[in-house]
């Protein structure tokens, strides 16, 4: 190559293309993006995606990376899972209009706080609200990929059983990924034969399905702002030091 | 909407990377108002404004404002006493240049 590549910094926007799309639920899809100059990332990190309209108007949003980078024939592939936000500006476009081979701009990987490193040895508890599962799934996938034996517990709050993102894969991983436990909380409609009533996540859920503070777990909570607030308060109330409870909120824009 | 919703400081990383070469979301900052020290990732970020406004999660003091124009950016950090930025272990003792 005659031209030297610019330095691989996370602050540069680069053009990526959609190479694959997977429908996860009625409202969530995974977009597989081919990003030619991707420096690699850690589970929990995110990317900014930027769209430019023909009139020059630009809109950028942050999306969590859903799993380890995959080598494709045209370069590294990065997966993001997009939840449709009603009346959103970017997510409906990405889900309904954005097509195979279409370009968009990517900046990342971003975020050095809400990350899990596979060399960590402390037990991990993950608490997801809705599409807050995405960066936590990246951690679950990275754990298996790295052969980590660290025990993981996931508490996943969803409205109804059909809102579970990665449902089949989670079922499979509970069976195959030794040391991974998953508990679901249904807020509107529980599956047939479920014991208990649909409810919002509460102390009993966190206490029963999380790790006790004595084990000094690393905790990652991701979901809508109010959900994260509730869960973080419960965990700190149970005695988890607040610096060990890492949170990532997402808001109403999309 | 009755209450303005906020995001957290994790989302500052992209916009701040336009100005700085390190990840500032894992930096620790002290609030000028209440003295609390915490990660920038834990700030409450309000993005429904002409720019980004980041507030202390403890006292809601504005710790950082970032406004991006087409050809310039404004960064106002008068609510932050200091930032402690993790650095790679390259040079244990800062030597003279």
ipTM: 0.76
pLDDT for res B93: 61
pLDDT band at B91 (very low <50, low <70, confident <90, very high): low
pLDDT for res A1: 40
Mutate to test the interface with B, among A227, A249, A252 (most CBs of B within 10 A): A249
pLDDT for res A229: 92
**Closest CB to A225 among B5, B13, B86:** B5
pLDDT for res A171: 97
| A93 backbone dihedrals φ, ψ, rounded to 5° | -65, -45
Within a domain: residue B89?
no
Q: Report d(CA A77, CA A190) in Å as an integer.
A: 35
Within a domain: residue B88?
no
Residue with tokens 């037990």: A123
CB contacts of A48 in chain B (<8 Å) are: 14
pLDDT band at B96 (very low <50, low <70, confident <90, very high): low
pLDDT for res B21: 84
pLDDT tens digits for range A189-202? 999 988 889 999 99
pLDDT band at B76 (very low <50, low <70, confident <90, very high): very high
Within a domain: residue B69?
yes
How close A109 gets to chain B, by Cα (Å)? 9
pLDDT tens digits for range A201-236? 999 999 999 999 999 999 999 999 999 999 999 999
CB count within 10 Å of CB A103 equals 13
Query: Quick check: bond before A109 cis, omega within 30?
Result: yes
Flag if B10 and A113 touch (Cβ within 8 Å): yes
A81 Cβ neighbours under 8 A, 6+ residues apart: A24, A28, A29, A30, A31, A63, A64, A66, A131, A134, A137, A165
How many angstroms separate the Cα of B2 from the Cα of each of A86, A205, A250, B12? 18, 29, 18, 25
Of the candidates B22, B27, B32, the residue with the CA atom closest to the CA atom of residue B55: B32
Within a domain: residue B43?
yes
Flag if A249 and B23 touch (Cβ within 8 Å): no
Domains, chain A: 14-110 (2.40.30.10), 124-250 (3.40.50.80)
Q: Which residue of A has its CA nearest to B5?
A: A251
Within a domain: residue B94?
no
Domain count, chain B: 1
A85 Cβ neighbours under 8 A, 6+ residues apart: A91, A92, A252, A253, A254
How close B90 gets to chain A, by Cα (Å)? 18
pLDDT at B48 over 50: yes
* Token digits of residue A2: 């005659």
Q: Report d(CA A229, CA A138) in Å as an integer.
A: 22
Torsion of CA A169, A18, A6, A13, to 10 degrees: -90
pLDDT band at A254 (very low <50, low <70, confident <90, very high): low
Of the candidates A196, A250, A164, the residue with the CA atom closest to the CA atom of residue B10: A250
Q: Report d(CA A237, CA B75) in Å as an integer.
A: 36
Q: Report d(CA A21, CA B33) in Å as an integer.
A: 47
pLDDT for res B97: 55
Average the pLDDT over B48-63 and give the result: 92
pLDDT for res A3: 43
What percentage of chain B exceeds 70 in pLDDT? 88
Mutate to test the interface with A, among B1, B3, B5, B14 (most CBs of A within 10 A): B14
B52-55 vs B44-46, strand pairing mode: antiparallel
Interface residue ranges in chain A relative to chain B, Cβ cutoff 8 Å:
9-11, 46, 48, 60, 62, 107-108, 110-114, 225, 228, 246-253
Within a domain: residue B1?
no
Within a domain: residue B93?
no
pLDDT tens digits for range A78-110? 999 999 988 888 999 999 999 888 889 999 999
pLDDT at A66 over 50: yes
Within a domain: residue B2?
no
pLDDT tens digits for range A114-163? 999 999 999 999 999 999 999 999 999 999 999 999 999 999 999 999 99
pLDDT at B89 over 80: no
pLDDT for res A45: 95
Q: Report d(CA B44, CA A114) in Å as an integer.
A: 15
Flag if B6 and A48 touch (Cβ within 8 Å): no
C-beta separation of A143 from A150 below 8 A: yes
Flag if A114 and B21 touch (Cβ within 8 Å): no
CB proximity under 8 Å: B 3-62 to A: 5-11, 13-14, 17-18, 21, 23, 25-26, 39-42, 47-48
Domain limits at B18? 7-82
**Closest CB to A250 among B7, B14, B21:** B7
């Amino acid at each position: 190559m005659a031209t030297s590549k610019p330095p691989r910094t996370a602050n540069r926007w680069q053009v990526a293309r959609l190479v694959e799309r997977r429908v996860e639920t009625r409202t969530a899809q995974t977009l597989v993006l081919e990003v030619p100059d991707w420096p690699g990332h850690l589970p929990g990190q995110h990317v900014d995606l930027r769209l430019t309209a023909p009139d020059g108007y630009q809109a950028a949003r942050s999306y969590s990376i859903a799993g380890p980078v995959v080598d494709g024939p045209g370069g590294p592939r990065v997966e993001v899972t997009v939840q449709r936000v009603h009346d959103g500006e970017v997510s409906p476009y990405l889900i309904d209009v954005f097509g195979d081979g279409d370009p968009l701009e990517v900046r990342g990987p971003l975020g050095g706080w809400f990350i899990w490193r596979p060399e960590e040895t402390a037990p991990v508890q993950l608490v997801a609200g809705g599409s807050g599962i995405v960066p936590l799934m990246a951690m679950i996938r990275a754990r298996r990929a790295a052969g980590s034996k660290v025990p993981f517990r996931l508490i996943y709050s969803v409205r109804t059983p059909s809102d579970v993102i990665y449902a089949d894969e989670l079922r499979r991983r509970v069976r195959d990924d030794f040391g991974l436990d998953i508990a679901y909380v249904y807020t509107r409609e529980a599956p047939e034969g479920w014991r208990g009533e649909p409810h919002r996540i509460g102390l009993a859920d966190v206490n029963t399905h999380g790790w006790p503070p004595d084990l000094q777990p690393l905790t990652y909570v991701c979901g809508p702002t109010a959900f994260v607030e509730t869960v973080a308060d419960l965990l700190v109330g149970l005695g988890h030091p607040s610096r060990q409870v890492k949170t990532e909120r997402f808001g109403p824009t999309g | 909407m009755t209450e303005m919703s906020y995001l957290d400081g994790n989302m500052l990383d992209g916009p701040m990377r336009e100005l700085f070469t390190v990840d500032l979301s894992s930096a620790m900052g002290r609030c000028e108002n209440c003295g609390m020290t915490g990660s920038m990732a834990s700030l409450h970020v309000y993005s429904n404004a002409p720019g980004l406004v980041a507030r202390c999660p403890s006292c809601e003091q504005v710790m950082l404002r970032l406004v991006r124009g087409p050809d310039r950016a404004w960064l106002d950090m008068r609510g932050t006493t200091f930032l402690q930025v993790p650095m790679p272990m390259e040079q244990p003792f800062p030597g003279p240049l």
